[in-house]
Structures are given as structure tokens and as C-alpha cells.
Structure 1
Amino acid sequence: MIRLRLLGPVELVAGERGVEIGPPQRRAVLAALAVDAGRPVTADVLIRRVWGTSPPDGARRALHAHIARLRRLCEQTTNDGGDVQLCLVRRSGGYLLEAEADQVDVLRFRLLAGQGRETGRTDDDRAALLHEALRLWHGDPLADVGGQWAERVREAWRRQYVDITVGWAAVESRIGDPVTVIGPLTDLLDEFPLVEPLAETLMRALHAAGRGAEALDRFATLRRRLAEELGADPGPGLREAHRAILRGNPPAPARRTAHRKTYEPASHGSLPARPEPEPSPGPSPVTGRWPGALPAQLPMGVRSFTGRADELAQLDMILASTAVQPSAVVISALSGTAGVGKTALAVHWARRAQTAFPDGQLYVNLRGFGSAAAVMSPAEAVRGFLDAFGVPPARVPVGLEAQTGLYRSLLAGRRVLVVLDNARDAEQVRPLLPGAPGCLALVTSRRLLTGLAVAEGAHLLTVDLLTSGQARELLTGRLGVSRTSAEGAAVGEIVGRCAGLPLALAIVGARAAARPRFPLATLAEELRRAENRLDALDGGEVTSQVRAVFSWSYEALSPGAARLFRLLGVHPGPDAALPAIAALAGIPVSRAVALLAELVDGHLLTEHAPGRYTFHDLLRAYAVELVDAIDSDLERHTALHRLLDHYLHTAHTADVLLTPQPNPVPLPPAGPGAAPETLADHEQSQAWFAAEHTVLVAVAEQADARGFDRHSWQLAASLTTFLDRHGYWRVLAALQTSALKAARRQGDRAGQAGAHRGLGLALDRLGRGEDARGHYLLALDLFAELGSDAGQARTHQHLARMSAAQGSPQRALDHAGHSLRHYRAAADRAGQSAALNHIGWLSAQLGEHHEALGHCRQALDLAQETGDLNGQAHTWDSLGYIQHRLGRHAGAVDCYRRAVDLFHRTGERQSEAAGLLCLGDIHRVTDRPDAARTAWTRALAITDELALPDLDPLRTELLTRLDVRTGPASEQREQPLRSAVRAVPVRAVPETSAP
């Protein structure tokens, strides 16, 4: 295995052989990449880490040279026999070091430390894990890397080392081995003499070892030093330990207290040898933090769940096996024919067992047996899980592999149940399986997933048809004992006709329950008459009797409900909201509510969330068959046209509200009955897109497949802003590729221009800069040909942002200038504000502060005139930075306060935290330490909510500031941070439905 060591001198090891990395600067580049292994790091961030905030002119060229040599070194080392690769690749405008947690010692340290601090483990296990983590240290971290960034990282890691040492020592003392920890604690306390948890833990260990007098001496020495150096008394933990020793009480576990002093350099490696446990599998090293949100996604269970005692007992046994297989991820796969009740069984058992998984329960319907277009990709499912954990869109990495790594990292050291429902095959499931011991994955599928058993050791369970007794019990639970007992023969025939299929029995039961005076014998007779339509059950798919039940239930519907059921077969899914269903049928919403209630009561439709409806996939297939057989081509075409108009016009309205525009290009009028939704403001638009974006993507794909070319490219244009801001760049690229083809087929030059611009944006976000530039230039040519100043302005704005990210500020300024000129020609005042702010920020980065101030003041006036809160926030932020650089601290404070308030209102939490960090820096410089600490503490709380990792630049800066004494003496630490901790303060690039 190829390993990277950072907890000491930077070393690259292949097997047992050390690999020569090269000069110190190259080691620094490797370290700067390795601390973020699994996440892309931009070139600008790497330059700041290696060369500081004032890099030499040749820094970027030198970085590229070091990257090229490190890439070849990784490839050569792997080819020389490394069984686990270490890859260095370019991603999203930066570089990504692909490595497993076991390959980078600091990542393995954090993984083991997290596992060792879990509740529920035995003290022996915890001590072994923490001891193994500490043994990874072989010196001062990043010992041969210089610079302010490396020193900040060293300081943070030393704190972690001390914390874990204290935790290990407390556990060792508790299990009766205090002598083992006295030496290491003594050595560490000599280096960190004012860290109270260290002293407290050492005192308790000395007391437990019968050396109480020495423990009291330690307390007296520390009390004197605290008074002399900090003017403080010992904290409550130390005082409690002191009193316990004086009273002669048995030692109590150490209690953590706040650290009083920043840790100083330490040398490590004095731990005694301990038998090392077998390494536990670790996640992809993306983040070690656990978000505040614990997912609880299990759907509602089936009322009156019946039978399945054997299957439930087997699942209980599999759950129990997790206690004796601590190093394994347990997988259970339920297979069986469609409608046999796999989902009901899985959800019922999951709800019974959820207390065994206190860290959350995930659920996803993979739609494995719908249409090919409806099948959920692993990437979509993983992204849904990351959203459930509250991972901010800005923290979601690009690519399925990196997203899977983040997902598995979030599960590390936790007990989480993952229910993967309706899987198509093993390949769809594998990226979604947790990699962490203690988790359990429960999979359902119509297929026997033998591949999971062979490769992943899954337990395979077959869910069979209900026995006659279980089927009777199900009907009795729905209809009552008196009714089923009174018509025993009819119940027997119904059970036989339904062939023990729970879905069919549930439909019959619902029909009978809704008509309590309806004889069951009549229901049995109707099933008997329908027998000639379809064949009986076979061993693979649904039986004819299920279809008979479907047809019988359908024929009992009112004409309006029957028509609506059929037309729902036109909707691409995966679900639909009430207004869209009304538009599909061309009826008022009030009428749709009544018809939908009839369908839900008949178990032909499910309201899985308030106002949102979905089919069982078999019912969807049945509806598709009916609409094709009964409704004419014209009726189907007209219904789809209404649906597309509804979604397109609503999406266009929502997009315009997200990005202020002076005169958005109007769409052709919506057809009769389409009834687009009315959205009032930015918040409603965001909520609508969040609920509908999956449906909108499916609708756009259906428009492309059914020849609705105009709808195809205009829907893609309307989705661009939302998909871009939320990081769905691969989806955006696919949509815009289809949109470009549709616009070409239609011969629409404006559509082609917009699609080139949208495709360029997606490729730019995905790190394909040259491809993106090509599409941007094609868009510019087309917009110029069309005389569209608005289109040219937006495209130049994209090019300006991309050029700045690539380290070409002068080229960025040129594009920003072109953008401003075109925005002025288009009379787009909000766009002018964004361009002026961009110019001002770029000028400030070049040291032209007075010129930058003028541009940003103009930008602010325009943003206020147009009511663009997002633009105002970013402009106040830029003004705060410029005022600070000019030494106008009072003005800077006012600007940053305004920016922070607006960022909070618009929901840009990371920008809010970055503004608070800079606000705190100004308070520190102006000798207001309490105000500084308040601002930094607020910012740190926001990063906790966003689940930013400790090595995120913003969070690292905040942790550093909160661990030092504030005051004028630390003014020399003040450095320009904005380029490191937040995006360019320009309003999000406006995306519109038309150029």
C-alpha cells in the first residue's frame, strides 16, 4: 500500500520503502493536497498554503511543475507494485488527491479517534482504538513544511493529539491500568504545562496508582503557574479532583474542562506499546464531522401489518449478528415478485428496529423497475442522502466516487440503517452501501441479488406469497372478524383469486371496506369473471389476477377518476403535485382534489407527501396500457402539451424571481387548462424548485423524446440557475446537451445560444475549462448575431469569473468590462450592479483600492434601486474589505455588519460566516477583543450548522482565532482572508429562461 505520512516529517511510503519526494517546496505542495484528500483544492488555495498571501510572480508556474512531478511520482510508485493507488487528478478548477483513509495517517488518526470516542463501545475497545490512533504520530506534524498555513494546521493537530491522549489515559485509568499512562501524561504536561485536562487526568492517574502526594504536588504547581501567568484559578475539574484526593475518595473519571492556553510545539512517540487491534475499515477521507441533522426517512408503515413472522425473525437474527461482527457491514437483500409486500416488510421491520440505529435511518425508492428513464441513478440517490444529512450544496464534491466517499465518511463510527427499496440490480446498489461497521443495509428487489451475496456477503431472503391463512388474516384485519366469518366461502375464493399477493388483497380489502354492505360473494364473482383476461401467476412477475384486480378497481371508478388515472400514465414521474395533475387533465384544482381522493381511497394512487402523489410502479404500467388503448393520439398529445406548458411557465416565473431581470423574454402563452402556478417571491421560487427539480428534469427529457423541442430547450434554460446554485452540474450538462440538439432541430438560434451558454457553465463547474470556453465563445457569437446584449453580458460574466479562478485577473477584468457595457446596453441595472461589483473586487485584489471603492459604490446604488438583496450583500462585503484595506476601520465594521445581515436574510450562510470572521478581525485590530470573540463564535456556530470540516479554510481560521488571546498585539497576524474563505463577491451569475 502507498501511504502518506503527515504526522511528523512529510513522507511517501510504498510498502516498507520510502519514496523520495523532492525539494521542500514540493513536499509542501503534497502536504497541502493531502490534508484535503478526497476533495478538490483550487490552485489559488494551494498557492496560499505553500507561498503565503503574497506569493512571488512565478508561484503558479512553480505549482504546475510540482503538480506534474507529483502526478508522475504517484503513477510510478503505483506501477512499481503499489496495490492501492494514490492518484493526483485535476478537478473543478483545482487538483484532487484520491486516497483512502488508511493511506493518509492524519485521516486514519481522526477515524480511529472518532471510533474510540463512540458511546456503546467497551472501555477495552475504546482504549485500543485511541492507543492505535496515537501511535500514528512520529514527530511534530508537517515538521519539514514552513509557513503560516502549516503552523496553523500544526497547532490544530497538536490540540487534537492532546485531547485524544487525555481521552485514552482516562479510559486506561478506568479499566485499572493507571501506571501505563503516567509517563506519557507527564511528558506531555511538561510541554503543555497550563492545559488543565492534562493535569487533571494525570492527578487522577497518580491517585489511582497510590501516588496521592505526588498528585497534590502537581495541583499546587499548576495553581501557582495559573496565577502567575494567567491570573486565574484552577477550573472546576481540577478542584474536584483535588478535593477527591484530599478526602481519599476512589478516583472518578476525568472531566473535560476548557483549555486555558494555546498549545505549543510538542514531540510525540512516548506511548507504551500495546497490542494493536485489527484495523477497522475506514471511509473515504472527505470529512470527519457529523452534521447536526440526523435523518429519519422511513416512510409510514402499513396499517394492520400481517404475517411474515419467519421473515421478521430472520431479520432480527441478522441484526443481532451485528453485535458479533463489529468489523462488517451487514447487508440483507429481500427479493420476490412485484406486489408481494417486500417494501411493506422492509419498512415494518425497519420501524421495529430503528432504536438500534440511533444515528439515523435512510430510505430511498430506487425505482428499479419503472421505465428506463425513471430508474434512479446511484448518483441521484447518494445526493439525496447527503441532502438528508444536511450537507450544504457547496460542500458536495463533484463526481459519484467523491460523493460516495463523503456519504460513507458521514456514516463512519455510527449506527445507521439504510433501506434501499426496489433496486434493479447489484450494480445500482453497491455505491449506496455503507462502508462503516455497525451500519446495516436492507435492500429490496424483484431480482435475486446473488452478486451481493458473492461479493459483499449479503444475506438473501426470499419474500414469498402469503399462505392462505396469512391472506385470510390480512383481509380480517381490514374488514373485521364478524364480516369475514360470516362469508367464509367468499373469503376463501377471494384469497385464491388473489393468489396470496398482498397488493391484490389490499385493493380488494379497500374496496370491500369502503362498501360495508357490499356482499363479499359479489366481489368474488367479479374476480371470477375477470379470470379469462390474463393468465395466472408465474414465477417471475405479477399475475393476471393482479391485473384483474386492477381492472376491477378501475372499472369501479367514476368516469372522471378513470380518465385522470389513465392520463397519469402520461406523466413521467417520479411523482406529481396537485397543480400539475390538474393541468394534465385540464381541470380545476378543486375538481382534481376530489378525483385524487377517489383514486387514493381505491389504493390506485398514493399521497406520499401532502399534495404529492405517486403510483406503485405496476399501477403506473397499468395506467400507461390503459391510456394507450383507450385515449386517442390527439388526446394524449394535448394532455402532455398542457403538462409541459404548466411546468415551463411556472419554472420561467420561478427563475425570473431568483435572478432579477429588467425585461425577461416572454414565452408564448400557455395553452388552455395549463394553469401555471403563481409564485410571489424568491422564497416561494426556491421552495418550488426544490420540490420539483427531479420532476422537471424528467419532464424535459420527455419533451425531448416526444418532439416538443421548444419546451425541451426552454425548460433547460429555466432550470439552469437552480441546478447551478445547488451543484447539480452533471444533470445540467446533460440537459443542456439535449437542449442544444433540440434548438438545432428547431433552427432556433436564440435557443442554441442559451444552450451553449448553459452547457459552458456546467462544464466550467465540472473543471473542463477549455470545453467550457469553447461553448462560451460560440454563445457570444450567436448572441452577437442576434443583437442580444443581455446574452453577451451574461456570457462575459461567466468568462470573467472563470478567468479569475484560473489566475488571470487582467483577462477577468477585460471580460467584466465587456459584461458591464452590454448590461448597460440592455438597460439591466441589476446586471450592471453585479458587473461593477465584480470589477471593484478584482481591482481591490490588484491593490487599486480607491478605484475599487468607486465601482462598488456604484454597484450598491444599483442593487438597492433594483431590490437585489443578494447583490447588495456581496457589494457591502466588498466595500467592507476595501475600507479595511484603506485603514477605515469604523466604515469597514458598518459595511460588514450590513453584509452579514443581508447574507442571513438571503440564506447565504457560508458568506455570512465569512463576513463575521472579517468583522471579528477588525474588532481585534481596533482593540475590542470581546466583540471580536462574539463575531467569531457566531461564525463558528454557522460552520457547525453547515457541517464544514475542521480543515476547511474558513473553519480553520475561526478555530485559530478563538484559541488565541485577542488584542492589538496580535494585529500582525491579520492577513487578507477573503480570497481564501469565500467566493468572489459577485451576485450569482444570472440565469434566465431566454437570452
Structure 2
Amino acid sequence: MLVWETFRRTVTKPKGLQMRVNLLGPVELVSAGGDAVHLGAAKRRTVLAALALELNRVVSGDRLLSLVWDGSPPPQAKAALQGHIAQLRKVLGGGVALVTRSPGYLLTADRSAVDVFRFEDLVAGSRDADDERAAEELARALRLWRGPVLADVASEVLRESVSARLEELRTVAVQELATRLFRLDRAEEAVAALTGAVADHPLREPLVARLVLALHGAGRQAEALELFHRTREQLAEELGVDPGPELREAYQAVLDGGVVATRPVSAPQVSAPAQLPREHRGFVGRACELAALEADLGGQDSAIGLLVGPAGVGKTALALHWAHRVAADFPDGQLFVNLRGFDETEPLDPRTALVGFLRALGVDDSQIAVDLEEQAAQFRSLVAGRRVLVVLDNARSAEQVRPLLPGSARCMVLVTSRLLLDDLVVTEGATSLQVPQLEEGTAEDLLAAALGRHRIEQEPEAVAELVELCDRLPLALRIAGARLASRPRWTIQSLVDELRDEQGRLSGLSLEAGTGVHAALAVSYRELPEAAARLLRRLGLHPGTDLDSYTAAALMDIGVGSARTHLRTLAYANLLHESMPDRYSRHDLVRLFTHHLAATEPEEDNTEATHRLLDYYLHVADLARGHLSDHVQPFEPLSYQPASAPELRSHEAALGWFTLEEANLGLALDIAVGSGLRERTWQLALCLDAFHFRRGNRLDRLALCGIGLTAARALGDKHAEATFLLRLGSTLADLGRIDEAVAACGESAALAIGDRHLELAALANLGYCLMAAGRLAEAEERIRETVEIAREVGDARSRASGLNNLANVLLARGEPELALGHAVEALGLFSGDSPTKAHTATLHTVGAVLQELGRPEEALESYRAGLALAEAIGDRYQEALCHRAIGDVLERLGMAEQAVPHWSEALRRYRDLRLTEGEELSGKVDGPGGA
């Protein structure tokens, strides 16, 4: 059985006595016994009406607020709405219930519980009935009206959303009732039914024509002629037109006299159009999206689906595939129109679309109204009560779509657009579905459809790279497939080699006819407001794939509030997407398109914007460095001090910012190096090194120290050179390159003389490196010197770090008791301070000393405290050390099975840091104990 037929039978089945909601007139709630139920506040009636009009469909909280408060809900509206909902629940019953359902509320009942739907169903049921029964059902339907729809509801937004459609259907019902009565030779009753409707719509010619014939049939020829002439004069005065053929034929019938035909001139017979274009034969995948469409739209009342996504993502193909799948559920027709919202030409006027729909439904051109609202009303009348599928492709705005929405509960609408069209979601209850890029496997299937499975199986690696170069966008993949299909001698690798060049990739994904990814993006760009278009051009200077509003503000040299507005505009146009609150990403082909746009800007403007971008990243990175490192000396004032920046008030916030911006900071560093901006280069490198030091990332530290040291030496900045030499030394020592480490730290210490804090840091690192080299006597001498300097300058953290290093030297010399004393003293100096790498390192040292002293339970406690602190500061190397040590102690205590998870975690972190020092753990993890 068809889905829609099953749905119709379910919702129209009588349920016996039930509570009723009446909206055709003042809003009423009537008990199952027929008594009026007091509703109280006027807004409560509006809430009930809004929910009843969407019977059995969830109404979002935001949309309900907009409908009830006429588009402008006050600050307290949400609380007031919840109060009205609670009061309504108290009085509802008899088969009508109000439930909370994300993202809003749902009124559940049989359709017949709401007079609007009883009216619609009676009118729809009369169409295929014989004249006697049809007249009876239409009369019953019209008796449901007690006045204007929602007569006592103050919300214009709510009333306007339904009144035009329902009034139109009411007029159609009167018109049809008159036709049936006329056939039954009940002309006087037809006159009575038509008189009020003609008074309300004096220029609606089909109504007037029926009344002329009904008056004639009732023997009131003079009144019939007078009505015709009065209408002719009004048409001439108000519209400047003559009566149409239907009214003229009715007039001639009166003049001819005699017996009037048993059937007056009637409305056009509605046909069942089948306008869906053919599906693309290469459609693949989209199982998740099709399932979502089925869940959100299948069997739903008055469903409107909205498919949203960037240019070339395959929205139209998905819409057509779905439409063809469900077409059989809409036997009254399927309508399709390309609204050309993003073509080179102007978007299609809704009037043009409506004329096409009306013609497809069988309306003669002479009967099509001129005014947009009247055309929309004609369309709603023709499909009222019918099951019609309407596909509106490539929509530019909600205003373009709204006149094309049928009013019938049996109809379904599917809209596609590059824009989010939130208006349709809020005001029309549309269900929005983002259409993403294809999955990798599905993208390869699409290429296989164009090239044949045998061809892509010959070059699997090239196919995988081609899919990513095309951003997994169906449009780009189809173009790539078409180019390869027309060149059978080409290998897939040859096209990959061409597209690897970022300068020519967009042109390589275009066709000679001017279609392709670049052309599609260009249309979206041209539709942007100027400020948003300027930001898109500026984004061509940003090297990464994502950014936040502060970064955009720096690029544009504007306030962060304005930047957020422009970013949202770009996201609305699907040129960016909001990957997390206030952070926006772009697809790679969009990134290349913005590079093209940036190249059209004046070079001096681009240079200034790039310097603003670098200084913004430097400013915030310097603030974040202050939370992660000791004795940070802020940089000198920057050339372009940003007007706004994120507030980083804690170690966690600083670490979080660095984690989010790590890739962008690395790319910014590349720009600084490539542009010869040496001071910005070493400053950015220093900030990134602070982050990688905290994370324990040695290989990246090594590269950064080399970059910073080169820039510092080129500038002749001895302080910066000493800073990078000491950092280079500690990194080399951690990597086992001890002799190089000692040399670098010695050189740093020589350059640092005169700057006590820098000298302290250089000597501390030199002592650490000498200890790693096994030169324990020299190491102890340097370390004790750092402890004294730290005491002299009042630096408790550096003193604690020195004491910890001294404890390690003593432990290595076989003096664990002395080592424990220094390590415990160091721990006391860390008390109350914010977490540091030195603190967790000292806890590890205490654990190692206790283990050496034969106190494994206490060692385990210290290691676990060190692990917790390492996790808090995000130091993956210290996490690895602590996990490994915990595993070793547990094994010593005879708990090898409990040790394995810790060894496994240690091994994973070593590998994440690209270090080989923990590989011997793999035998323990994978061996008998790990099995």
C-alpha cells in the first residue's frame, strides 16, 4: 500500500468522542461532551492555535516564540511560553495531548479533532463523490466556519501564515457547492451559497459566472443581467480589463433564455503532471541522507524538506533521487522548477514559476491571475486536498519559495539551496538537512561510474589522491571523470599530477563551456554583500583551513562583532561552515578560490593585511606563552596591535588556544620565513616552542629551534640567539645527541652573561645536558650554581627545578637518601603554584628515588600524582614517563596484568611524539602478559 494512502487512512479514521480545537473563527477548545473549555490568556489561545495548525508535527521552541509574539518575542517570552504550555496541559484531554519533543512541542490528536483539518478533509472527500453526497459534505465543511480564521488571535504572523490558503479553499468549496447544487436543479440553494462569496470577491469571475447562471436558473434573469453589467464595469474601472470567456458565456446563456445547461462552466480539470527531470545515472551513496529524508519527511503532514550545501555537493542529484523514490506516493502529480537562484542570470521570478505550475495543472492562460498573491491562491486551490510533490531546486531566498508552497496537508515540498534559508525553518517549519561531501568510498564509486571499475582498480593510490584533490565534491569528481573518460590514453595519475598544482587546480576542474567549480563558486561570491565579499577575498591571505572571528577581524581591520556578522553571512552562503562555536572552516577548493580572489587585490593592501594577521597571532601566542613558561619577557609593542583578542586567563585556556591554532601558527611561521620577516620569525618560533615543550614534542621543538636560531643570528640579536641555543640544547639532550647539546648550552651560557634570568636558564640546561652525558661532577657544579642564582634572584620555580636536577644527579651517583631530601625540598617550593612541567618531573623523580629505596607503594603514589599533573598540563612526554614507571612498579609488585594498560598508554604516547625510546615496551604489551 502506498505510504501516503496508509497515512491518510490512519489520520482520518474516526475516534469517537474527543476534545476538539476550533480555529475557523475565534479559537475554541471544546470538551468531548461539547462544553467550551476556558483558556484564559489571549496568548494561550495563540499557543494552542499555533500547535493545532501543526497537528502531529513538532514545532520548535524558536518558531513557536516567533509565531506567538509576532516575530519579536520579548526577553521574558520563553518563560511565558513554558507557563502557557503548562496551563494548556492541565485542560487538554479526550484524545488531545501536548508533549515536549526536541526541539520544541507537539500537539497530538486525530485530524478530525481540529476543524481546519475536518474542513480540508470534507472538501477533499467531496471531489470524487456523486453530486448529492458532495453537496452534503461541502455544506458540512462550510458550516464549520464561524467567522474569519483565528478571529481573536493577535498574531499577524500566525494568521497570515494560514488565512489566505484557508479563505481560498473556502471560496473554492463555495464554488464547487454551487456547481453541484446547480446540477441537482437546486438553483435557489446555489444562489444562497454564492451571494456572500461574490460580495466578498466581486471580481472573481468564476464565482460571478456561477451566480449569474444560478440566478437565471432560479428565474431571476433581471438580477443575473444586472450582476453581469455591474461586474463588467468594476473590471473595467479597477483592472482595466473586459470580462473573461467564462463570465461572457454565462451572460450569453441568460440572453439566449430557455433551459440552462445542467452544468455551468466549471473550473479546469486538474491534471497530474510528472515534471521530475531524469536522474543522473551516476548517482551513488547518500544512504545516510536518504535515511534522514525518510525519517523527517516520509508520511509527515505538510512536510517541507530543505537540502542545504555548498556549490557542487550534489543537492539536486539527491533531491531528484529521493523524489523519484517517493513519486508513486503522490499520484496527483510531481512538480519541478529550477529557481535559478545561483545562475549567471537573475533568479526566476515566483510568478513565472507559478504560471508554469498552473499550466501543468491544466489551467488555461486566460484563467491565470496576474497578481502574484492571486496566482499563489489559485495554485493552493488546485492542489488543496491532493497529494502532490513539489521540488523547488536552487532557491535563492525564502521569499522566492514561499508563494510556491501548497497549502494542502497531503503535499510535500523539497527545496534545495546553497543558502541556509533559516526563514523557511522558522516561519514554515521546514526540516533542514546539510548535504556533506561524499565519503571516500562513495566518491571512488562515482569515479567508477564514469570510468569503469576496471580502470580505477588499476591505479588505487592515484584514485584516492584524486578524490581528495576534488574535495570529494560530486561536481568536481564528475568533471574529473569526464576529462579522463574522453581521454582513454591518459592515466589517472597524469590528471593527479596536473591537479596537484594549486595554481591550476580550479581551472583543471572546469569545462570549456564555462561550467565547473570555479564558475559555481564565482556565482556565490557575486551574490555576497560587499563587506562579506571583502572578507572572502581577505581569507585568501590566510594560510589555514579554519579561523575564528578574532582572526577575521585582524585580517579586515574591523571590530570582532562586525567580523562575526560577515563570517555568518559566508556560512549562510555555504562558503564556510561553522565547525564549532565562533570557528569557521572551508573546503580546500574554496580555499584555492579565495587565493584567486586575493590575487586581484592591490599588493600593498595584501601586504598590510598579512602583517596584521601575523601580529595578531604573535600577540595572542605571546599571551598564551605567559601561562605556559616561566619568566616570560613580553615582546616589544607590535606594528599592528590587534583591537580585540580572545581572553586567555588560565593555563588551560592558553593550552587550548595553542591546540586549536597549532596548524595556523605553523603556517604563519612559514609566511614569516618566506617573507624575510626575521623578528616575527623568531618570535613565532619561540611561542610555538613553549607549546611543544609543554606537550613534550621533541622533534617539532628541534625544527623550531633551528628556525628561530637562524632568524636571531641573521638579525644579530644575541639575547634571542642565547634563548634558542639553550632550548636547542635541552631538546638535543632529550633526543640523545648529548655532545651537540652540551655545546649548544655552553654557547648559550656564554652569550647570556649579564642577564641573570637568561644566564640561570642557560646554566640549568647546561647542567641537565652534562647529567645526560654522564659527566656528573660537572653537572652537579653547574646545577648547584643555578640553585644559588635562583635563590639570589628570588626565583622559587627555577630553584625547585634545580633541586630536582640535583636529586637526579645524586640518584645517578648512588646516593638515593640525599636525592630524596632535595626532591622533597623541591616539591615544597611548588606548593600553591600553577602546574608546571618541572613539578610533574619532580614527582617522577621522587617516585624513582622511592623505588630505588625499596618503597614501591609510595613510589606508585608519587608516579600517579605526577601522571595526574602531566595530564592536567597536557604534557604527553611526561605522561608517557609516568605510565611507563607505574607499569614497571606494578610488575615489580606482581601485578603484571594491571601493568599492561599503562605500558600500552606509554607506548601510544611515545609513538604520537614520533619517539622510538619506548619501542621495547611493545614486547610487554603484545607478549603473554598483554594477551
TM normalised by structure 1 equals 0.41
Which structure has the larger Rg over C-alpha atoms?
2
TM normalised by structure 2 equals 0.44
Larger RCO: Structure 1 or Structure 2 (Cα < 8 Å, ≥ 6 residues apart)?
Answer: 1
